[in-house]
Amino acid sequence: MEGVPRAAIIAEVSRKMTEFTAALQERAKTHIKDHLVMVKEQSLVNEMVSKGVVAVHWCGNRECADRLEEIADASVLGTEVRTDLIDQSQGNCIICGKPGSVVTLIGRSY
């Protein structure tokens, strides 16, 4: 890289890093998309969570979360996970059926 100003090298490296990060994020996103599924039936939660991350409607009650973790044999990851990959509209809690429940993700830790 003789004759190339130092600043230009730094700029180039920084550009490459940004590209690299973007590619990683894109790959992670694709991975999540391939493994994220919205489930509306309690009976399907366990099967689907064994394949990836499951999104369900949950009313926010601790008892429902406990029941969910029991049938899924997995952890409720929380409702903070905001992703455009899943439908974020409200629905009925998959456990108690309460309307206006929000989407939460359930997954097994690897």
Q: Residues interacting with Zn ion, by CB under 5 A?
A: 59, 61, 64, 93, 95-96, 98
Nearer to Zn ion, 34 or 66 (CB): 66
Rounded CA separation 49/47 (Å): 6
Nearer to Zn ion, 46 or 61 (CB): 61
**Shortest CB 61 distance to Zn ion, Å:** 5
In sequence order, which residues have a C-beta less than 8 Å from that of residue 69 and are 6 or more positions away?
Answer: 75, 76, 106
- 92 near 98, Cβ under 8 Å? yes
Rounded CA separation 92/26 (Å): 31
**Shortest CB 68 distance to Zn ion, Å:** 9
**Shortest CB 43 distance to Zn ion, Å:** 16
